[in-house]
């Protein structure tokens, strides 16, 4: 990687990997228990209205999405795939009326996946600016804060 892309601090990069690792470890565990079809998975699938025959394919899809995400060259694609996967989880829980936490938990995982990626990838930070560049307020903006508007700016 060239030095022009090395603008993410080591602290931010490490924070990004830790933030990414937490949901990745959870989904790895989730995928493995789907593949193993342990009794709580069988019960959950019955409650959600899914046949247990889709547990293994879902576990495999989950692992593939995770592999794409943890590979630095394809991490943005992985985040997009995981967002879709987690969106399906949200839709499933909404459909069965599962309550607030089961609906919001996949959303929280998605926020952690994307947050970790933004912390460790400068290109993504440039694509999704979280704050405006340059001075916080111009002279004309300061005037508007006190109710004054420059007519020339409006026209």
Mean pLDDT of the chain: 85
Report pTM.
Answer: 0.76
What digits encode the pLDDT tens for the residues 83-139?
A: 999 999 999 999 999 999 999 999 999 999 999 999 988 888 888 776 665 555 554
Instruction: Look at residue 125 in the predicted model and tell me its pLDDT.
Output: 82
Instruction: Look at residue 108 in the predicted model and tell me its pLDDT.
Output: 97
pLDDT above 80: residue 76: yes
Domain boundary assignment for the chain: 9-130
- How sure is the predictor about 149, in pLDDT bands with cuts at 50, 70 and 90? very low
pLDDT above 60: residue 56: yes
Task: Tell me the DSSP string of the chain.
Answer: --GGG--S-HHHHHHHHHHHHHHHHHHHHHHHHHHHT-HHHHHHHHHHT--GGGHHHHHHHHHHHHHHHHSGGGHHHHHHHHHHHHHHHHHHHHHTT--HHHHHHHHHHHHHHHHHHHHH-HHHHHHS-SS-SS-S--HHHHHHHTT---HHHH-
């Amino acid at each position: 990687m060239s030095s022009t892309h090395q603008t993410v601090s080591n602290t931010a990069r490490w924070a990004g990997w830790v933030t990414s690792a937490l949901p990745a470890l959870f989904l790895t565990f989730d995928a493995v228990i789907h593949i193993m079809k342990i009794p709580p998975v069988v019960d959950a699938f019955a409650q959600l209205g899914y046949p247990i025959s889709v547990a293994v394919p879902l576990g495999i899809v989950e692992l593939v999405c995770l592999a794409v995400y943890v590979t630095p060259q394809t991490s943005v694609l992985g985040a997009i795939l995981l967002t879709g996967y987690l969106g399906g989880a949200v839709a499933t829980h909404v459909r069965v009326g599962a309550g607030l936490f089961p609906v919001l938990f996949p959303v929280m995982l998605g926020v952690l996946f994307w947050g970790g990626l933004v912390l460790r990838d400068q290109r993504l930070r440039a694509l999704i600016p979280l704050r405006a560049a340059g001075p916080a307020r111009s002279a004309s903006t300061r005037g508007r804060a006190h109710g004054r508007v420059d007519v020339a700016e409006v026209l």
